[in-house]
Structure 1
Amino acid sequence: MKFFKRLILILVIFAVLGVGAIGALYLYVKPELPSVATLRDVELQTPMQVFTKDGQLISQFGEKRRIPVDLEDVPQQMIDAFLATEDSRFYQHFGVDPIGVMRAFWVLLTTGEIKEGASTITMQLARNFFLSFDRAWMRKIKETFIALHIEQLLDKDEILELYLNKIAFGHRAHGVGAAAQVYYGKSLDQLTLAQIATIAGLPKAPSNLNPISHPQASKERRRVVLLRMLDEKKITRAEFEQAANAEVTARRHGAEVTVDAPYLAEMVRQEMVDRYGEERAYNAGFNVYTTVKSHVQLAARQAVWDNLHAYDERHGYRGPVSVLWSEEEGEPALSEAEVAEYLQRLKSIGAVTPAVVLSIAEQSATVAVKDHGILELPWESMHWARAYVNEERQGPPPETTADIMQPGHVIWLRQVAEARDDNGHWRLAQIPEPSSAIASLRPDDGAIAAVVGGYSFQLSQYNRALQAERQVGSNIKPLIYSAAFEKGLTLATLVNDAPINQWNPGSGIAWRPKNSPDVYEGPIRLRKALAKSKNVVSVRLIREVGVKETADHIAKFGLDRTQVPENESISLGSLSMTPMQVARAYAAFANGGFLVEPYVIERIEDGNGEVIYQAEPKLACFDCDNPAPQIISEQNAFLVAQAMNSAIWGGGSWAHDTGWNGTSWRIQRSKPIVSEVGRAIAGKTGTTNDVRDTWFSGFTSGLVTTTWVGFDDVSRQLGSTSMHPLLDSAQQSISGGEAGAKTALPGWILFMEKAVSEYPSDNLMIPPGVVNVRIDLGTGKLSHRTDHTTRFEYFISGTEPTDYVDRDSGNGNIFEDSGDDLF
């Protein structure tokens, strides 16, 4: 009896000591324990996603891929798999499983090694949120205490939901939702039992057990999970056998990007980092919706691609990327399997896909194309490829396939826009050497409609639409004409289109600005001068307005005044601007004279779908609460738009041999644009003197777009081409020296043909304060005639002519009383 009393006493003492030790240990580590109350308001590190206006995913930013899910959306089989494998008594214990602890302690006593951790799901959650993963006793003790706190604060379902969303699964996937997407490209409800078991087996060792890097180890771990589910009677023997023997189907999947717009995505990323800082921007689960419609953005990308490839085809073929074997050298050809394996190591870039020439016929070739197998390349898909000599010269047109390619050549192919899924429309290509950009926005509020910063983000992340400050050439002229109209000149004002030869005593040389082409017409109305882009007229306008006054006026269009030079060379486009700056400036002519601010983020939602930011742009309006600043009068804007409208439609009478075209006449051929907006289009070409930069900027009332084409190397000129009889009619019409009308305008047309229908447009509405009177085309004076020698012209009220031309008097000096109208 004494023995039992002593034994009981010893046990009580040990129990008291144990409780005391635990209490003391708790008091010791308590200052270091984090507050688990934060779990109720936990913000899971969820990546930022960027969407188009119509909800298509553009990109995802963030180190951790996570797709938060509610517990009710997790398939029961997945819950069963995790509980069976990680913590079968999860719903019975209080955060620590005594049975599991005793089992782990017994293994330690019998083997001398820690082989089982006895961690419950709650303890794993504690470790993942608050602790490190090192194997230390103190970490385990803290983990236990935190788990006990968690169980007091949250119910079991809340704990399990947090666990399933927090746990790491390898390849930067955190949470079961992201794991399903990364490994299988599926949502949870689409997973098979084998795939569920694979995911459930990953938390033990995500790096060593993941099915992409270690498929065999993953398969063995999957079997362990399935056995535990079978033991717990969560699956049948038949389900076990089928899932255990299934093939490993995992492969790495990215975010389901549906619109490839990396330049746009980078704009958003940078703005979000500026707003919220890098850590919060990448991990707070923001959903960012842009102002861009998906198909409009894709149309802009395709326009850049197609236009650059058209330039490249005009200038000739630079040869294969590399040569795998040469029949001339007696080298053996690779097998089709070897070629396919080689192609898988190459990347597609922009619109082009790598291919290998397998054999050639007289006017065709058999090629292996990455991811598309073997196909025949017809003569029509390659006959453009005369040899490239330099930017100014091309070789003779090819006559046979052998003039272009040989078996073993590694080449680029692209699919033409009209039939991308038809193998018969593959076309020989090469990565274009020049660059291009498109900037498009809505003139009513500055919302960006599309932006493309170059041919390929893979090749260069430099966003030329926003960052490339290039000389604008004649794209500056509408701003100069606006300054002239502000001073009182009119569309009917006559200016002398004649050569200028000005001696500069400082430099000892003469300045001789020339028209391009070098043709002069004498006295010319300002409407016609802008439409035909007369350089010497722009010089004379600056002299009439004043160099400083012109520079001041140009700066109103959103430019830093210190960057606008005060010299006459500005009339020829020596000022440098980005495509977005040009588009913003031209928007003022489309919207009645308002300077809108370009913006790309329409709204931002947090991880719960709550809108935390909504754009409130300043509007181009007179009677609204949030007007943009008006930099020119609506009458001034209307007159400039009228002159740019004539750049497209020309004037005169072709029946009477007085008809003429403006520099932008190619738009007339675009049935999609003309049928959508009629004649209500305005635009202006731009070319620098040395053809290093080419531009076209134009608008309807609903959309303004600027295109730029040039080399990143500013020392390179875009050159010229000779006629190529094998090219299609559209390409044949572009020969001679490259220019804004030939190089940049076609890209603008390609884009606007797809975009204008998305942005409703009105006619070029006549604003109040503008009058319309009939004038004589030769003098700009009023006329009583109604024939081809006259037209109705617009004037700001008070500036219209008051004198009538005297055609019947035989007065040969029609400028006798109007010397101020000609300078």
Structure 2
Amino acid sequence: MFKWLIRLLSLAFLLGLSGMVALFVLYQQISADLPDVSALKEVRLETPMRIYSQDNELISQYGEQRRTPVAIHNMPQQLIDAFLATEDARFYEHPGIDPVGIVRAAMVWFTTGEKRQGASTITQQVARNFFLSREKTIVRKVKEIFLALHIEKQLSKDEILELYLNKIPLGHRSHGVGAAAQVYYGKDLPELTLAEMAMIAGLPKAPSILNPISHPRRAEERRAVVLGRMLETGKITRAQYDDAMAAPVKARYHGAEITLSAPYLAEMAHQFALNMFGEEAYIRGLNIYTTVHADEQQAANEALINGLLSYDLRHGYRGPVATLWQGENAWGSEQIEQHLDEQPRYWPLEPAVVLKVNERNATVFIKDKGETELSWDGLKWARAYIADNRQGRAPKRASEILNAGEQIWVRPQEDSWMLGQLPDINGALVALEPQTGAVTALTGGFNFTLNKFNRVDQAERQMGSNIKPFIYSTALDQGFTLASLVNDAPINHWDAGSGSSWKPRNSPNVYDGPIRVREGLARSKNVVSIRLLRDSGIANAMQRLNDFGFDTDQIPATESLALGSPSATPLQMAAGYAAFANGGNRVSPFVVERIEDANGLVLYQAAPEQQRIISEENAFLISSALGSAIQGGTTAGRRWNGTGWRAGRALGRRDIGGKTGTTNDSRDAWFSGFNPNRVATAWVGFDDFGRPLGRTAYHPNLGRDQMAGGEFGGKTALPIWTDYMKVALSHFPEQKRTVPAGMVSATIDTSTGLLSNKGSTEYFVKGTEPQRYSRPGSHQQFGGTSVTDELF
């Protein structure tokens, strides 16, 4: 018996020795192929690109993988215990591989024939996740073992565990426990309950089929296994176990926690980062800080959306989205809810279904909100849309508007709901810091999900009268002053080549004879603009537009230039007006202030530059005249309003200037304006350039505050601009314009533009002020040099 025991021990020794020799030989063969595990000390976890506002509000996130790295000391101990109890209970005891675990797994397999327990340690999983494929081969397994041993020599246990918990895939594109907590529960790690921690700890085994969103029952069973292991290892009490086991499964998908809506701007920042870093931008954990401010961006969103919805309301109701049933075949509540669950929502519009229509109200079912009433105040606007310039009669009963079974849009009011609809019209709003060109707010359309076309920097539309300040700026450098008289009279220009006459008209078609340049700009007199262009020279005007950043290669050098026939984007327009606000310097708009890597190292910092394009005096004079477009003025005792008078009434301050713009047939409506701290441009139009904005008739249901008639810059675009500026300018006290040193002021007769003992104060570049006093019957010669005028 003893001899047999000696033989068995000898055999075991020989087998063990042979195994060690075999492992040594195998190690020698594969060692050259083993990666350097010291790289784990400087490992860069793939994290998505995040885009923020200036005040750290998250605007967007890009990247295939969701990952939020968390230091081990910031992870809840119960979460760590849950993973260790399930994945590697002897983690802090073994050297990287667990012989006890291997023997235990082998015994289970030997006695049952089933692979119920894994033998891989957390260190081995780190080796596999960072360095190896998931192929099931002996060579890969041996490499994994050796790498695990090496890792344990290079890193501490906490460092290994931190890498593991931040790297592992946990389903729904979440990688690491920080991301999983956000994806499944919308929480940070410290906010998780024990039941939620156990649910996450159960995911590594099979995240695709054990996650609580796709397979809640399987996930609950796996959670029970984790909680059972925690109870067995003494990490939780029986009471904690019972409470966690009884907790309902409440996981649902949580996207990136966007706290500020700016999708058009986010896409611009996204493309900027891609151009700079290529595809690596998606995995380097870049934090991109844009130039926008959260409150201004929110104001811009609301201003544009409300402006477009207001236009749509004026032009009438186009009917329901769909008819789900008619007559007695009404759907049940479950069917209605299921249908609405599949419908999108476009803030502030919510999908709803009409349940019942009464004389002056209707009962509707709103997605996720249930039944509510649409009162007459929320319905009475909805006269029928017939065409862009024609509406039906005002409704008197709710049944003229709605029918039971219709799917509609509704929008919230203060304490109620009103009927709404997706607008056909679209628009854009962009604002800048005039001194730097930093974009402070930007929205390129009604809804990014509906249409990703960014009208701020992609829609080239005719400028209309928004071009006039640039024409007037040219004229001031060619001898005109704001007091110069120009004949506001009809033009009839015969073109021998075409055999026809060009007869540009004012809008409205009213003429006042000789008026000052200041009044001509403030009241947007078309014929005055044409006469100034003629006398200044088209070539000079083209050069001035080029200096302001407009592409003159695409602009026909004709007199129609003075009326805004060239096209520009709203971003180009805002940048152009910035020069009047900042004293004559051209700025380049930008949306990215800086880019940092995952460790806070600044990789890019914007360096805005200015380029002087007009004199400080020229900028001051145009700014002053555009102030008159807001505040109005007086000529010979006659009070007149500028085309932007609504902005002055809405904002109640005198340090603003701006210009309306409306193109032929009202296809485009603009308002561009500024003060020393902000410049903004609002544009409204159809994406179909050939479709005019139309007009509306008076609506007897809506009272006296409504806007009826034609759509134009001062009515359609200006309210959007003012709604934004109410918020943007609230940060800045009203301030007087600083008069440049090269300016003088003089009191002038507003009828003649000559000096007067009583009249209005006007500013002049030194040396250009009038030298004569106005006397009864006197007049000033037209223009700054010579202007010939047709008086018919």
TM category, shorter: over 0.9
Secondary structure at 2:640's aligned position in 1?
Answer: coil
Q: Deviations over 1:412-456 (max 9, x none)?
A: 11124xx3xx3x2x2211011111100101111111110000000
The answer to whether the aligner puts 1:221 opposite 2:254 as a matched pair is no
Task: Determine the structure 2 residue equivalent to 1:245.
Answer: 246
Cα distance in 1 for partners of 2:612, 2:658 equals 21
Task: Determine the structure 2 residue equivalent to 1:646.
Answer: 628
Alpha-carbon deviation of 1:755?
1.6
Q: Deviations over 1:620-662 (max 9, x none)?
A: xxxxxxxx11110010001111111111111117xx8611111
Cα distance in 2 for partners of 1:413, 1:669 equals 31
Alpha-carbon deviation of 1:105?
3.0
Task: Determine the structure 1 residue equivalent to 2:665.
Answer: 690
Written as runs of structure 1 = structure 2, the 5 A alignment for 1:190-209 is 190-209=191-210
Task: Choose the corresponding residue for 1:722, options 693, 697, 704.
Answer: 697
CA contact (8 A) 1:494 1:821 kept: no
Work out the number of aligned pairs and report it: 788
The answer to whether the aligner puts 1:763 opposite 2:763 as a matched pair is no
Q: Deviations over 1:68-114 (max 9, x none)?
A: 11111111111111111000111111111111222333344455565
Cα distance in 1 for partners of 2:348, 2:660 equals 26
Alpha-carbon deviation of 1:663?
0.8
Structure 1 letter corresponding to 2:265 = L
Task: Determine the structure 1 residue equivalent to 2:97.
Answer: 96
Alpha-carbon deviation of 1:15?
3.0
Alpha-carbon deviation of 1:350?
3.1
Larger deviation: 244-253 or 204-213? 244-253
C-alpha change, 1:816 and 1:554, in structure 2 (3 Å) is closer
Cα distance in 1 for partners of 2:345, 2:724 equals 23
Cα distance in 2 for partners of 1:381, 1:11 equals 89
Cα distance in 1 for partners of 2:196, 2:785 equals 87
Task: Determine the structure 1 residue equivalent to 2:775.
Answer: 806
Cα distance in 1 for partners of 2:732, 2:611 equals 23
Cα distance in 1 for partners of 2:784, 2:123 equals 93
Larger deviation: 500-509 or 346-355? 500-509
Cα distance in 1 for partners of 2:432, 2:717 equals 18
Structure 2 letter corresponding to 1:645 = G
Structure 2 letter corresponding to 1:637 = A
CA contact (8 A) 1:594 1:630 kept: yes
The answer to whether the aligner puts 1:287 opposite 2:256 as a matched pair is no
Task: Determine the structure 2 residue equivalent to 1:404.
Answer: 401
Task: Determine the structure 2 residue equivalent to 1:625.
Answer: none
Task: Choose the corresponding residue for 1:662, options 639, 642, 646.
Answer: 642
CA contact (8 A) 1:33 1:146 kept: yes
Structure 2 letter corresponding to 1:800 = E
Secondary structure at 1:50's aligned position in 2?
Answer: strand
Cα distance in 2 for partners of 1:819, 1:273 equals 53
Give 5+ residue unaligned stretches, structure 1.
619-627
Alpha-carbon deviation of 1:591?
0.6
The answer to whether the aligner puts 1:702 opposite 2:668 as a matched pair is no
The answer to whether the aligner puts 1:301 opposite 2:301 as a matched pair is yes
Cα distance in 2 for partners of 1:317, 1:411 equals 11
CA contact (8 A) 1:493 1:822 kept: no
Task: Determine the structure 2 residue equivalent to 1:83.
Answer: 84
Written as runs of structure 1 = structure 2, the 5 A alignment for 1:379-394 is 379-394=376-391
Cα distance in 2 for partners of 1:93, 1:372 equals 55
CA contact (8 A) 1:701 1:763 kept: no
Alpha-carbon deviation of 1:801?
1.0
CA contact (8 A) 1:438 1:705 kept: yes
Cα distance in 1 for partners of 2:436, 2:277 equals 25
Task: Determine the structure 2 residue equivalent to 1:472.
Answer: 463
Task: Determine the structure 1 residue equivalent to 2:619.
Answer: 637
Task: Choose the corresponding residue for 2:725, options 749, 752, 760.
Answer: 752
C-alpha change, 1:386 and 1:817, in structure 2 (3 Å) is closer
Larger deviation: 23-32 or 643-652? 23-32
Larger deviation: 462-471 or 200-209? 462-471
The answer to whether the aligner puts 1:440 opposite 2:437 as a matched pair is no
Alpha-carbon deviation of 1:604?
2.5
Alpha-carbon deviation of 1:815?
4.2
Structure 2 letter corresponding to 1:200 = A
Alpha-carbon deviation of 1:595?
0.8
Larger deviation: 315-324 or 18-27? 18-27
Q: Deviations over 1:289-314 (max 9, x none)?
A: 22211111011000011101110011
CA contact (8 A) 2:654 2:734 kept: no
Written as runs of structure 1 = structure 2, the 5 A alignment for 1:196-595 is 196-279=197-280, 281-327=281-327, 331-416=328-413, 419=414, 422=415, 424=416, 426-595=417-586
Alpha-carbon deviation of 1:766?
1.2
Alpha-carbon deviation of 1:602?
2.1
Alpha-carbon deviation of 1:603?
2.5
Structure 2 letter corresponding to 1:780 = G
CA contact (8 A) 2:484 2:784 kept: no
C-alpha change, 1:582 and 1:166, in structure 2 (3 Å) is same
C-alpha change, 1:403 and 1:686, in structure 2 (3 Å) is same
Cα distance in 1 for partners of 2:481, 2:375 equals 56
* Aligned-CA RMSD value: 1.9
Cα distance in 2 for partners of 1:405, 1:816 equals 61
TM score, norm. by length of structure 1: 0.93
Structure 1 letter corresponding to 2:786 = D
Structure 1 letter corresponding to 2:333 = E
Structure 2 letter corresponding to 1:767 = P
Larger deviation: 66-75 or 752-761? 752-761
CA contact (8 A) 2:485 2:780 kept: no
The answer to whether the aligner puts 1:47 opposite 2:29 as a matched pair is no
Cα distance in 2 for partners of 1:82, 1:133 equals 21
Cα distance in 2 for partners of 1:756, 1:647 equals 19
CA contact (8 A) 1:343 1:354 kept: yes
Cα distance in 1 for partners of 2:3, 2:192 equals 65
Cα distance in 2 for partners of 1:301, 1:257 equals 15
Alpha-carbon deviation of 1:13?
3.6
Alpha-carbon deviation of 1:566?
1.7
C-alpha change, 1:188 and 1:814, in structure 2 (3 Å) is closer
CA contact (8 A) 1:67 1:178 kept: yes
Secondary structure at 2:746's aligned position in 1?
Answer: strand
Task: Determine the structure 1 residue equivalent to 2:786.
Answer: 820
Secondary structure at 1:366's aligned position in 2?
Answer: strand
Alpha-carbon deviation of 1:761?
5.0
CA contact (8 A) 1:350 1:455 kept: no
Task: Determine the structure 2 residue equivalent to 1:139.
Answer: 140
CA contact (8 A) 2:357 2:404 kept: yes
C-alpha change, 1:771 and 1:322, in structure 2 (3 Å) is same
TM score, norm. by length of structure 2: 0.96
Larger deviation: 20-29 or 71-80? 20-29
C-alpha change, 1:563 and 1:762, in structure 2 (3 Å) is farther
Cα distance in 2 for partners of 1:162, 1:760 equals 52
Larger deviation: 492-501 or 380-389? 492-501
C-alpha change, 1:641 and 1:20, in structure 2 (3 Å) is same
Structure 2 letter corresponding to 1:747 = I
C-alpha change, 1:59 and 1:644, in structure 2 (3 Å) is same
Cα distance in 2 for partners of 1:602, 1:415 equals 36
Cα distance in 2 for partners of 1:763, 1:395 equals 49
Task: Determine the structure 2 residue equivalent to 1:795.
Answer: 764
CA contact (8 A) 1:494 1:822 kept: no
Alpha-carbon deviation of 1:326?
1.6
Alpha-carbon deviation of 1:136?
2.3
Cα distance in 2 for partners of 1:14, 1:706 equals 84
Alpha-carbon deviation of 1:255?
1.8
Structure 1 letter corresponding to 2:133 = S
Give 5+ residue unaligned stretches, structure 2.
none
CA contact (8 A) 2:479 2:784 kept: no
Structure 2 letter corresponding to 1:405 = L
Alpha-carbon deviation of 1:555?
0.7
Cα distance in 1 for partners of 2:480, 2:784 equals 13
Q: Deviations over 1:293-348 (max 9, x none)?
A: 11110110000111011100110000111112222xxx322233332232121111
CA contact (8 A) 1:194 1:244 kept: yes
C-alpha change, 1:817 and 1:607, in structure 2 (3 Å) is closer
